[in-house]
């Protein structure tokens, strides 16, 4: 008989693997690999994501890894920008090429139907090898050969069909820069490798399991994975809803009463985006906000392991907006964590912390120095 895991057990299992029950004492690059990469559409979001998961993490650690090309930002899962180790970039990029090509076809195929794709890529590659280019700049250069084609479509054709990565200063703490692209093989000085999708699935379960086939496909953007999952040596469970779940045999599955401290997450954190059924973390199925920005001034937070509200920093004030009224104990514990968040983001700045009540009663404030 297949064991049934309650929603709370699923919550605790995922939090344990995400280093959100206890902060971990591991190297940032090892954490990034363990997490299966980190969503980096907002380029600074991984800094907050690592701070909330690791002991004594400081921004210079990730900036150094980025500058030394030990980690890299490129389109991978769900055709979105992820921060991954150099090893995972080379191992995984080829798995997602069909997904990226399909995404381009959905949005730009008609605009480029008269363009020879191979010729376009042969023109784009040396331009990108010469120096990093933004998509807009690349599109304008390619338009010299195809003057009657939309430059935006030309740029996307190149960046969706070539294996590229974004380069610094994009993604560096305390600096900024445009999303400029180069061939990932040139940037990392190594060729892409052929890795079976089996490994990707096992890595996902190690970071987000137990999970269904639909969950794995939602995280990766890949399809037709059921046969692959079913041939792997995995343990199976049932959710309370009856859904079949798969997991690594020896992965942690803490008890339902394991304490879960409050945690602040950055925007776009994969914790809230990587399951088809998100009720283990988001029982009300609220839409996850995906605001524009660099990723270090807004996000979400957890109370007792559940998504409980949002936060943002504006005018030297950290605003916390819970979905429901906080107990005094939760409020106080969240405030302690908020003090640390503010100190991490701007260590030499004095912040006020404002916790709004859902019923809009007067705000609770605390001065942070």
Per-residue pLDDT tens over the stretch 72-131? 999 999 999 999 999 999 999 999 999 999 999 998 989 998 899 999 999 999 999 999
Q: The tokens of 333 are what?
A: 């514990």
20 neighbors 317 (Cβ within 8 angstroms): no
Alpha-carbon gap, residue 267 to 271, rounded angstroms: 10
Looking only at the bridges linking them, the beta strands covering 81-85 and 71-75 are antiparallel
- Quickly tell me which residue has 């998509």 as its tokens: 135
Q: What is the CA radius of gyration of the chain?
A: 22
Q: The tokens of 5 are what?
A: 């895991």
CA trace torsion 222, 249, 303, 287 (10° rounding): 20
Alpha-carbon gap, residue 4 to 267, rounded angstroms: 32
Q: The tokens of 255 are what?
A: 């008890």
Q: How far is CA 221 from CA 50, 224, 250, 274, 366, in A?
A: 24, 10, 26, 10, 43
All residue ranges of the chain with pLDDT < 70 are 1, 359-369
The pLDDT value recorded for residue 1 is 63
- Quickly tell me which residue has 């559409």 as its tokens: 41
The pLDDT value recorded for residue 123 is 97
- Quickly tell me which residue has 């991490």 as its tokens: 344
Alpha-carbon gap, residue 143 to 302, rounded angstroms: 48
Question: What are the tens digits of pLDDT across the range 299-315?
Answer: 999 999 999 999 999 98
- CB atoms closer than 10 angstroms to residue 315: 7
Give the predicted TM-score (pTM) of the model. 0.94
Looking only at the bridges linking them, the beta strands covering 164-166 and 180-183 are antiparallel
3-state helix, strand, coil in the chain (%, to 5): 40, 20, 40
């Amino acid at each position: 008989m297949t064991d049934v895991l309650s929603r709370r057990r699923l919550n605790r299992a995922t939090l344990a693997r995400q280093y959100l029950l206890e902060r971990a004492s591991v190297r940032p690059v090892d954490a990034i690999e363990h997490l299966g990469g980190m969503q980096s559409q907002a380029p600074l979001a991984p800094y907050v994501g690592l701070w909330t998961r690791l002991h004594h993490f400081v921004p210079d650690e990730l900036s150094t890894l980025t500058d030394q090309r030990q980690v890299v930002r490129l389109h991978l899962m769900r055709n979105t920008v992820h921060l991954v180790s150099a090893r995972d970039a080379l191992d995984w990029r080829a798995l997602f090429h069909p997904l990226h090509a399909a995404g381009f076809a959905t949005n730009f195929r008609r605009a480029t139907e008269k363009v020879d794709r191979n010729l376009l890529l042969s023109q784009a590659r040396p331009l990108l090898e010469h120096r990093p280019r933004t998509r807009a700049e690349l599109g304008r250069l390619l338009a010299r050969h195809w003057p009657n084609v939309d430059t935006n479509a030309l740029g996307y054709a190149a960046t969706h069909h070539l294996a590229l990565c974004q380069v610094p200063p994009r993604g560096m703490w305390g600096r900024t820069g445009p999303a400029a692209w180069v061939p990932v093989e040139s940037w990392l000085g190594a060729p892409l490798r052929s890795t079976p999708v089996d490994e990707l699935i096992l890595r996902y379960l190690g970071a987000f399991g137990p999970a269904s086939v639909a969950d794995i496909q939602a995280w990766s953007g890949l399809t037709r994975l059921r046969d692959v999952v079913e041939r792997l040596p995995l343990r199976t469970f049932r959710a309370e809803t009856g859904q079949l779940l798969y997991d690594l045999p020896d992965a942690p599955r803490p008890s339902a009463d394991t304490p879960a401290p409050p945690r602040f997450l950055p925007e776009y954190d994969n914790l809230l985006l990587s399951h088809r059924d998100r009720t283990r973390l988001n029982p009300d199925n609220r839409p996850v906000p995906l605001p524009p920005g660099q990723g270090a001034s807004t996000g979400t937070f957890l109370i007792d392991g559940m998504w409980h509200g949002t936060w943002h920093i504006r005018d030297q004030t950290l605003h916390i907006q819970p979905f429901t009224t906080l107990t005094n104990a939760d409020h106080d514990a969240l405030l302690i964590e908020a003090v640390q968040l503010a100190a991490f983001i701007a260590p030499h700045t004095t912040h006020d912390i404002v916790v709004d009540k859902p019923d809009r009663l007067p705000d609770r404030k605390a001065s942070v120095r």
